[in-house]
C-alpha cells in the first residue's frame, strides 16, 4: 500500500521508467541497453519503497506517547522549547533515512491546540540547528491524561516538502496519519519533564507502534 502523497510521483516515475526501458531496447549494445533498463527499474523500486504506507496497529493509551515515525533516536535531552511552551522540556528526536517509512503519525490522541508551518533552510536533518533553521511544522496535541506534546516535522537536505494534516481545533486519534515528509527528515518531540522516557539513543523505533514515553 502506498501513501496518497506519492501517487502523482509514482505515476510520473512509472511513465518515465517505461519510456526508458522501451527506448533502451533499441540500443544495439547489449550491456548499455541492460544497464539503462536496470537503473530505471531500480529507481522505480526506490520510489515505491519511499512512499510505502504499511498498516500499523497502534496500542492506544492516553498515558503513552507512541513513535510518530520510523527511524533512529538521535537526541534525548532537556532543552528550552521557545516556540510554544517557552519552558524546559524533554526533547526526543527521531531521524529518518531515505529508506525509512516517511508517514508521520499522531503520537498521542486529543485536541490539536497549535499547528504552524515555518519556511526555512534545508540543512542535513542531523545538524544541531536544523530544528530551528530548516523548513518545519510544529503541532501541539493535548489530552487530559498525558498533557500537551509538541511534535515538529523537520525537513532535511533532500526533503523539499512537508505535508501536515493537523489543524487547530481538530480531535485526532493516536496512531492515525498526521502527514508526510518527502525524501529524508526528522521529527522532534517535546515532552513534559516528568515524562518517563522509554527509548535509548540510537534505538530504532517503528512509527505508530513503539512507546516513546509514558506518564
> Which residue is associated with the grid cell 526526543?
92
**Catalytic residue, candidates 131, 138, 148, 185:** 185
What does the radius of gyration of the chain's CA atoms come to, in whole angstroms? 19
Extended strands (E) in 67-184: 71-81, 87-96, 103-105, 110-118, 136-143, 147-155, 161-164, 171-172, 177-182
Provide φ and ψ at 106, rounded to 5°. -70, 125
Residue 93 among the catalytic residues: no
Judged by phi (left if over 0) then psi (alpha if -120 to 50, else beta), residue 92 lies in beta
CA distance 215 to 210: 15
**Which among 50, 163, 139, 48 has a CA at the least distance from the CA of 102?**
50
> Which residue is associated with the grid cell 534525548?
76
Residue 66 near residue 212, CB atoms below 8 Å: yes
Residue 6 has what DSSP assignment? G
Task: Give me the active site residues, please.
Answer: 185
Amino acid at each position: 500500500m502506498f501513501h496518497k502523497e506519492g501517487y502523482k510521483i509514482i505515476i510520473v516515475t512509472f511513465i518515465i521508467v517505461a519510456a526508458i526501458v522501451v527506448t533502451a531496447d533499441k540500443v544495439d549494445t547489449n550491456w548499455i541497453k541492460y544497464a539503462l533498463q536496470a537503473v530505471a527499474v531500480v529507481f522505480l523500486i526506490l520510489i515505491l519503497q519511499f512512499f510505502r504506507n504499511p498498516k500499523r496497529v497502534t496500542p492506544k493509551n492516553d498515558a503513552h506517547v507512541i513513535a510518530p515515525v520510523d527511524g533512529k533516536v538521535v537526541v534525548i535531552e532537556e532543552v528550552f522549547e521557545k516556540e510554544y511552551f517557552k519552558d524546559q522540556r524533554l526533547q526526543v528526536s527521531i531521524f529518518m533515512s531515505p529508506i525509512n517509512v516517511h508517514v508521520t503519525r499522531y503520537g498521542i490522541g486529543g485536541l490539536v491546540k497549535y499547528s504552524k508551518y515555518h519556511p526555512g533552510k534545508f540543512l542535513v536533518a542531523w545538524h544541531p540547528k536544523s530544528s530551528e533553521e530548516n523548513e518545519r511544522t510544529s503541532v501541539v496535541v493535548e489530552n487530559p491524561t498525558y498533557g500537551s506534546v509538541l511534535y515538529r516535522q523537520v525537513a532535511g537536505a533532500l526533503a523539499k516538502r512537508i505535508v501536515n494534516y493537523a489543524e487547530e481545533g481538530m480531535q485526532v486519534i493516536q496512531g492515525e496519519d498526521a502527514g508526510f515528509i518527502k525524501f529524508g527528515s526528522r521529527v522532534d518531540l517535546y515532552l513534559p519533564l516528568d515524562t518517563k522516557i522509554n527509548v535509548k539513543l540510537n534505538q530504532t523505533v517503528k512509527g505508530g507502534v513503539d512507546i516513546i514515553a509514558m506518564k
